[in-house]
Amino acid sequence: MLIFTALNQLDAARKRLMKAKPRIDLICFGEYTVIGSKGDEYKVICKTDASNKRIVFCTCEDKYPRKLNDVCYHIAGALSLHLYLCEGRVLTFGKDRPEKLWITNL
């Protein structure tokens, strides 16, 4: 699990992402499927919790437990796509609608 606050949290994971070159598919806004380097499929969810923290989960944590804020490259890839989609939503809805940028009811 990652509590997302800044892009520099992803630096090491981005390097692994560039080597692995996984496939990232959009399920729906905030939910992504990542096909890992060995063909395993993982689900990544980007959401906002009740206290307005931006949280990202990856199902690879079930297989490979990680510490809080230790980022896998599945998260780095899905979050890159998510932030790209968020930018499009800001252009569409305007900056006065930030609640639309992260899904809240998961």
Model confidence pLDDT, tens digit, residues 29-78: 889 999 977 888 999 998 888 888 888 888 887 666 666 667 888 888 89
Name which of 30, 53, 51, 31 is nearest 100 in CA terms: 30
H or E element in which residue 42 lies: strand 41-48
Q: 72 lies in which domain range?
A: 2-100
HSE of 81, CA atoms in CB hemisphere, 13 A: 23
In a domain, 63, yes or no: yes
Can you read off the two tokens belonging to residue 102? 């992260």
Is residue 106 assigned to a domain?
no
By CB atoms closer than 10 A (0-12, 13-18, 19+), residue 10 is buried
1: closest CA among 77, 54, 38?
Answer: 54
79 is a domain residue: yes
Per the structure, the count of domains in the chain is: 1
Is residue 105 included in any domain, yes or no? no
Mean of pLDDT values over 100-105: 46
pTM above 0.85, yes or no: no
**Domain contains 12:** yes
User: Percent of the chain scored above 70 by pLDDT?
Assistant: 71
